[in-house]
Chains A and B, each alone.
Chain A
């Protein structure tokens, strides 16, 4: 009997006990009501149960000198606590045994299937024998699941023809049906498994279901659907971004980006999503433009400087620095005074990455007027990065004894090569 059944059995046992106690009470109440009814005709017959209750109550009263109801409640709680403790202890021990057994069986099966798969993939003369054995083991659902997991693990590390052979075997063994069943299941965790398996095996039969899940309220399912769509779409792996209504969290963005790198997927022109109504999609597109150094975005970036969302503006300043967009520098100088702290910092960081002598005056002004340490440091760094003119300006500032600001301490920090 599996643990699940044992657990359910025990719970059922507890439930029956509860029902038994309630029923017992109900019976007692019923008895007393019935006795009340009968009392008129047969007073002697009624007296017995009523007496039993009152004798029980009197007994408790004599023994505990307190409310019989309270004593009964305490008795019930003690009884339930002891039963629960025993039941839990049994569950703990059975669970341990199950885990140990499962681990052993799984280890054994994994090794066996791995060997069979290796024979099928790489040993031509053993191929058909391996297939027959795999077909035989694929009769049980659990075995099929272990087999699918094993195939996915293998396909992650393989490319080209061999990967296609695995996909062929997956279809030949009829495992696709299992994955599709999971993809269309009502349970979200089954959907996740199904989507993952279909994506790895490059099967598009459930794309419609996957697209539906792109806007699911369950974040894990949504992310799995996104990943599956990236892997299963032809041409533009990110076309699902057009369908996305829910925010694309940073976690999802990182996962997508890592998958892009890992699987060397086609990189689209990300500026196409700059006009998306989904702010998080715009931010992701900006992040990708910066990462892939997609430089032909000057005009669109300048438009995003006027975006109402401060985080979008923040990312667009960042992109300018990352891709070295010199044409955006005058606009950033214009935006600087009215920006929030985070965005001011990002503008200055952009200036450190795109150093230009003609903005030294602007940077010196920032250094003079800003009180925040980080802004001062970034402005100084930007000045230093302009090379000779900036450094000589900083040295001059260090030598000057300004009562207004201690430039020395700021400039020393920036020029200290040990501070990374």
Chain B
């Protein structure tokens, strides 16, 4: 009995350490998995000739769906980029989600658009579509513009799904910059599928702050000058090259970033399209289409490509970052709650047994546990009962382990895609890895807590991104 009490006391007293150790062990396992998978992917990919499908009439037809709201500053260039992607057989569907600026007028003028008698069905519910526009100029025949009442991003994507005709759809943020070969790389897993059809594919999103951009294309890649976006580069590198890569291999991928993803249109429609009841519609969709397939006894694959496919501008001010992180947290909470039936549910395989519990414990609950730990720390300091030597030791353990994980991800980036050519950029990234746990991480943790509070208080705003516009960084 005494022994049991001692064991229990040990666990209670060391709970924070145990949770941290568990998280770190998981990260370590994920790092190993992603290292193996990345190596395999890169080796295989070095023999792939994407040129063979660039102009092939046999390649599948794609619809690129890009919702836009008040993006008058960048919309013309962004559409131009979308129209000049390396692929033969695709259409671009831009959805003007009731913009209050002059986005639509600018598009109409730049691309010589006219309202057409477009017949479509509201297979997915969405706000009223006021009109569909096509160009008089055949050079822009790939372009379709939908004008609709404002309903948010998910609603716009549903409108795009209703109007587009092709079997595969690519959802992107209109303010992101796609790599020219992004479609080729995204479509490959769909074309390679044999026994199991691929229903979704996503790739790496990179940060474009401080990069030199001209004509809607990245001309020169630079590491962001400001600390805040630079810390996000670190965060994205870790998440995309380590986390998602491993989860894809483990068949537990829950998220394909809303900035860029390719899906089987029919499956998305049958599963009910994008949910307008959540601010995390990208994650919710992936979970729902996966559930749909399993519930209907259908085999499938969701694939992740470690290639950098898309560039986006990240928040460079604390205020905007806080809004973004609050939204991400609320989105995670909503998806986890909606699909709570997955929790340790063997029917859904690794998704239910590994993927869902991981997201719940480490992506959602970890910041809360961390916050409680800090509260406890403050209490101990105030009451002068803190064991300072042990605290410093524990802090050293967490800090150095976290930094070493970040430096692993820098190494992954270096030996894989090697996007930052300047040696100084890499050293600055390593420097950021040392500073990030001290300054950036606590801030993001507090923003996540705010997201929880916002959700509880039903403050469900999307939050405005306030982009500076590419090339104006």
CB within 8 Å of B: which residues of A? 63-67, 70-71, 74-75, 77-78, 81-82, 84-85, 88-89, 91-93, 95-96, 99, 189, 192, 219-220, 224, 246-247, 249-251, 253-255, 257-259, 280, 287, 291, 372-374, 376-377, 409-410, 412-413, 415-416, 418-420
Contact = CB atoms under 8 A, between A and B. Distances in A.
Nearest to A81: B400
A287 B52 CA distance: 16
A249 B191 contact: yes
Interface of B: 10, 13-14, 17, 43-44, 47-49, 52-53, 56-60, 114, 116-121, 134-136, 138, 141, 165, 188, 190-195, 387, 389-390, 393-394, 396-397, 400-401, 403-404, 407-408, 410-411, 414-415, 418, 423, 426, 430
Q: Which A-B residue pairs are the 5 nearest by beta carbons?
A: A413-B119, A81-B400, A412-B117, A251-B191, A258-B52
B460 to A, nearest CB: 33
A253 B403 contact: no
21 contacts: A64-B389, A64-B390, A66-B390, A67-B14, A70-B14, A70-B17, A71-B390, A77-B397, A84-B407, A85-B403, A85-B407, A91-B411, A95-B411, A95-B415, A250-B190, A258-B52, A412-B119, A416-B116, A416-B118, A419-B116, A419-B117
B323 to A, nearest CB: 33
A67 B9 CA distance: 11
A81 B193 CA distance: 41
Contacts of A96: 414, 423, 426
A251 B53 contact: yes
A220 B46 CA distance: 10
B136 A418 contact: yes
Nearest to B49: A255
B43 A419 contact: no
Contacts of A250: 58, 60, 190-193
Contacts of B188: 251
A85 to B, nearest CB: 5
A67 B17 CA distance: 12
Contacts of A63: 389
A65 B17 CA distance: 15
Contact of A413 (B118, B136, B414): B118
Given A74-B396, A192-B47, A413 B407 contact: no
Contacts of A220: 44, 47-48
A74 B60 CA distance: 54
A254 B47 contact: no
Given A65-B387, A249-B194, A254 B58 contact: yes
A377 B390 contact: no
A413 B52 CA distance: 35
A369 B141 CA distance: 31
B56 A257 contact: yes
Contacts of B401: 77-78, 81
A291 B119 CA distance: 31
A74 B414 contact: no
A257 B393 CA distance: 63
A92 B414 contact: yes
A376 B394 CA distance: 68
A189 B58 contact: no
Given A92-B410, A96-B423, 9 more contacts: A67-B10, A77-B401, A92-B426, A220-B47, A250-B191, A257-B58, A291-B57, A372-B121, A409-B119
B318 to A, nearest CB: 28
Nearest to B408: A88
B414 A95 contact: yes
Given A78-B396, A95-B415, A409 B404 contact: no
Contacts of B121: 372-373
B116 A254 contact: no
A382 B423 CA distance: 62
Count chain B CB atoms within 10 A of each CB in A65, A219, A247, A255 and give the residue with the most: A255
Count chain B CB atoms within 10 A of each CB in A82, A92, A374 and give the residue with the most: A92
Contact of A258 (B56, B193, B195, B407): B56
Contacts of B14: 66-67, 70
Count chain A CB atoms within 10 A of each CB in B60, B400, B430 and give the residue with the most: B400
**Which secondary structure dominates chain A's binding surface?**
helix
B387 A287 contact: no
Count chain B CB atoms within 10 A of each CB in A63, A91, A250, A255 and give the residue with the most: A250
Nearest to B167: A342
Nearest to A377: B119
Contacts of B404: 81-82, 84-85, 88
Contact of B411 (A66, A92, A258, A376): A92
A246 B195 CA distance: 10
Nearest to B138: A420
A89 B396 contact: no
Nearest to B114: A418
A373 B408 contact: no
Contacts of A287: 58
Given A253-B58, A412-B117, A413-B119, A418 B403 contact: no
B52 A259 contact: yes
A66 B387 contact: yes
Count chain B CB atoms within 10 A of each CB in A67, A81, A189, A253 and give the residue with the most: A81
Contacts of A189: 43, 47
Nearest to B60: A250
Nearest to B59: A254
Count chain A CB atoms within 10 A of each CB in B165, B407, B410, B415 and give the residue with the most: B407
Given A88-B408, A287-B58, A418 B116 contact: yes
Nearest to A65: B387
Contacts of B141: 420
Nearest to A74: B397
Given A88-B407, A413-B117, A78 B193 contact: no
Count chain B CB atoms within 10 A of each CB in A192, A287, A372, A419 and give the residue with the most: A419
A255 B119 contact: no
Contacts of B415: 95
Contacts of B60: 250
Contacts of A75: 393
A415 B116 CA distance: 11
A255 B52 contact: yes
Contacts of B118: 413, 416, 419
Nearest to B422: A96
A255 B393 CA distance: 58
Contact of B393 (A64, A95, A280, A415): A64
Given A64-B390, A92-B414, A254 B56 contact: yes
Contacts of A374: 165
A414 B390 CA distance: 76
Contacts of B390: 64-66, 71
Count chain A CB atoms within 10 A of each CB in B13, B114, B117, B410 and give the residue with the most: B117
B193 A99 contact: no
A74 B394 contact: yes
A249 B52 contact: no
A377 B165 CA distance: 11
B178 to A, nearest CB: 21
Nearest to B122: A373
B400 to A, nearest CB: 4
A377 B163 CA distance: 13
Contacts of A224: 47
A392 to B, nearest CB: 20
Contacts of B387: 64-66
Nearest to B163: A373
B426 A410 contact: no
A171 B312 CA distance: 51
A66 B418 contact: no
Count chain B CB atoms within 10 A of each CB in A84, A189, A287 and give the residue with the most: A84
A99 B48 CA distance: 22
B365 to A, nearest CB: 23
Contacts of A254: 52-53, 56, 58-59, 191
